[in-house]
Amino acid sequence: MNLTFAEEFLLLALDDRGCFVNIPAMAVEYGLAGALLMELAIMNRIDADLDNIILVNADPTGDALLDSILAMLGTERNSAKFWIKEISIRIENLRDMLIQRLVEHGILKIQQHKVLWVFSSRRYPCINNREEEEVKARIRRTVLSNDIPDPRDIVLISLVYSCDLVDMIFTETEQDKAYERIEAISKMDLIGQAVNRAVLELNRLIAEAVTSVTSMTNPMRV
């Protein structure tokens, strides 16, 4: 089964219990929006210059979610950062939509979990971990070798870096080498660079906002 970048990214953003890793929910949304743009790039529907995402082919992809984004992109030319924010705003419950697709693929299941026996939360554990492990193994193999990466792996590795998921895939002793190689790989694709830069900047703004709120609510920790 061929998963989209967004579906593969979502698997990487879940820990072994089926909980999202310790990054802000909005950072996951931005990563997913970036993954959808990159999917369209691989399908030769969009391209990028130094400043803007460019629609080059408006033909439907056959994927309703991707086609809805194509319709957005046809309205104006703008930056990757602009479109990542727009996708996150205009497509409500983007994360839940992609989770449901993975459930329908038979890859995830949804579990209700009680916190303190009162508050309900959801977990999304893998049914057999095969797809998640395949994605991680592919990334590890590409990053820890000197092989020329596949274009699809370049995209996913860029997202792993921009959304701070490197330590979910590589051991502490591997991370110095991994970061060096990932930085080199992420420069191999122009649209990947544009999306990666946009996601990094948006996530930095989220982190600054979280730090600001924390310092105001608990000034002794500043």
- Domain tally for the chain? 1
The whole-model pTM stands at 0.85
HSE of 139 in the Cβ direction (CA atoms, 13 Å)? Answer: 29
Domain assignment present for residue 219? The answer is: no
User: What CATH number does residue 60 fall under?
Assistant: 1.10.3630.10
Write the single-letter amino acid at 103: V
Domain assignment present for residue 212? The answer is: no
Lowest mean pLDDT among 21-25, 57-61, 110-114, 144-148: 110-114
Domain assignment present for residue 213? The answer is: no
Residue with tokens 């929910």: 25
Domain assignment present for residue 216? The answer is: no
Q: Which domain holds residue 67?
A: 5-204
Domain assignment present for residue 161? The answer is: yes
| pLDDT tens per residue, range 36-90 | 999 999 999 998 876 888 899 999 999 999 999 999 998 788 898 999 999 999 9
State whether the Cα torsion 192-168-17-163 is positive or negative.
negative
Domain assignment present for residue 211? The answer is: no
- Measured at the alpha carbon of residue 123, what is the angle toward residues 119 and 129, in degrees to the nearest 5? 165
Predicted local distance difference test score (pLDDT) of residue 214: 47
Could you tell me the pLDDT band of residue 112, with boundaries at 50, 70 and 90? confident
Residue 55 to residue 52: CA distance in whole angstroms: 10
Residue 200 to residue 119: CA distance in whole angstroms: 33
Q: Which residues contact 111 (CB under 8 A, 6 or more apart)?
A: 18, 122, 123, 124, 125
Nearest residue to 169 (alpha-carbon basis) of 41, 2, 13: 13
| pLDDT tens per residue, range 151-189 | 888 888 988 888 889 988 999 999 999 999 998 888 887
Domain assignment present for residue 222? The answer is: no
E-assigned strands of the chain? 46-48, 53-55, 111-115, 119-123
Domain assignment present for residue 113? The answer is: yes
Predicted local distance difference test score (pLDDT) of residue 18: 86
Cβ pair 102, 10 in contact under 8 A: yes
